[in-house]
Amino acid sequence: YGLWEICFLIRGRQVYRVANQDYALGPMDLFITRPDEVHDSHEQPQEPGALYWMHLAPPSGNRRFLGQSAADGRMLMARLSALERRQFHGSRLLRDLFQRAWDRVDGDCQLRRMQLTAIILEILFEVVRCGVSDQGEISDPDINRVLAYVERNLRLPLAVADLAEVAGLSESWFKAKFRRVVGLPPADY
């Protein structure tokens, strides 16, 4: 209770519901819930995938927050609170930071805990940056057209060749471009 939840989907699809609104996450999407917001998967089946997930207690009183002063901790959480969208596209840097954090979870060494704290702080900076930057919107019109097509046709079997046609590209060029822009091969997406 009283915790922020940050989910970062690396692979697969997930659906979350908050206040009777569904949020369909795809690869490299972030999803944030604020403290005490009731949310669930709305009985949607969970498909195989990879998801980083963390709970974060907001700073309280004059206690330090992730090694930062209480004032700096409150400022960082205010930036997180100011994000207009709860779902947006993450970055490759964020994926790498979550993996680095995961690699340091086990172990009692004080140095590892300090490294983990620093990485979590970097994760929060990158979440805020992704949430306010234009990176949340893919600027490539060919790939945007394909992503919109996929969203409209989620229940249909979609072949990569058909998606390449929607993009107006050869299949090999489409695969390379999609991977470069989205961060995953189109078949994985």
Q: What is the pLDDT of residues 69-80, one digit of tens each?
A: 888 888 898 888
Handedness of CA 136, 139, 141, 142 (dihedral sign): negative
Residue 127 is predicted with a pLDDT of 94
Q: Give yes or no for residue 184 having a pLDDT over 80.
A: no
Q: How far, in Å, CA of 65 to CA of 121, rounded?
A: 9
Q: pLDDT tens, 24-48?
A: 888 999 999 999 888 888 777 777 8
Residues, the chain? 189
Q: Give yes or no for residue 90 having a pLDDT over 80.
A: yes
Q: Give yes or no for residue 134 having a pLDDT over 60.
A: no
> In the numeric block, which tokens belong to residue 149?
């097509």
Name the residue type at position 6: I
| Mean of pLDDT over the chain | 86
107 secondary structure, DSSP code = -
Among 75, 23, 59, 68, residue whose Cα is nearest residue 44: 23
* Range picked from 1-5, 60-64, 88-92, 170-174 for highest mean pLDDT: 170-174
Q: How far, in Å, CA of 73 to CA of 59, rounded?
A: 6
Q: How far, in Å, CA of 93 to CA of 177, rounded?
A: 19
Q: Give yes or no for residue 183 having a pLDDT over 70.
A: no
Q: Give yes or no for residue 181 having a pLDDT over 80.
A: no
Sequence-separated (6 or more) residues with CB below 8 Å from residue 3: 35, 55, 56, 57
Handedness of CA 132, 137, 174, 163 (dihedral sign): positive
Residue 135 is predicted with a pLDDT of 42
Q: Which residues pair with 4 in a beta bridge?
A: 56
Q: How far, in Å, CA of 85 to CA of 173, rounded?
A: 32
